[in-house]
Structure 1
Amino acid sequence: MTLHLLFTSQSSTLNSLKRTIGEQDAIMFVGDGVYALAGWEGTQTCYYRATDCHQRGLPELATATAIDDTRWVELCLQFPRTLSWKAS
């Protein structure tokens, strides 16, 4: 079980993530990664940092769970591994 932290909406990074992510993994959309949230088609549990959506003028989506920084830390502690995805 891995928590994937997506910090970008760049298509090459998204394609790499899609090839790597497992069914029991979760993904968190952070920073500019929230732009990719609306188009995400995976079946994994999804989270996003609510502050990042608000700062970018994006609406909250029912397909993922909005969280704050405290919950983000809790998720990082809950999952045995975290993997960060940034623009390549």
Structure 2
Amino acid sequence: MKHRRSIELAPPEGFAVEEKQTLATLPQWFVVHARCGVCGYQSLLERRGIARRCGLDLSLARLAGRLKCRECGNRSDNLLLLGKLPRD
């Protein structure tokens, strides 16, 4: 799946989100998006804002479970998508 800026929104090959993967251990060239499982609404998540509110030790798996859709209010079956920015 691609973002409107042609950023591929899927983990690259060999990169698996594990329970121990946190915001602190996620490389800076990754962008984090959320997609609603019900209505399909997609939004970019601000990593710094999440880290400021929840801490850098928040695992990506726990973050995915805390997502809430801004459009329909859905709290279940939401996806956390990772995109890798192009590096010069």
TM-score (norm 1): 0.25
More strand by share: 1
More helix by share: 1
Query: Which has more radius of gyration?
Result: 2
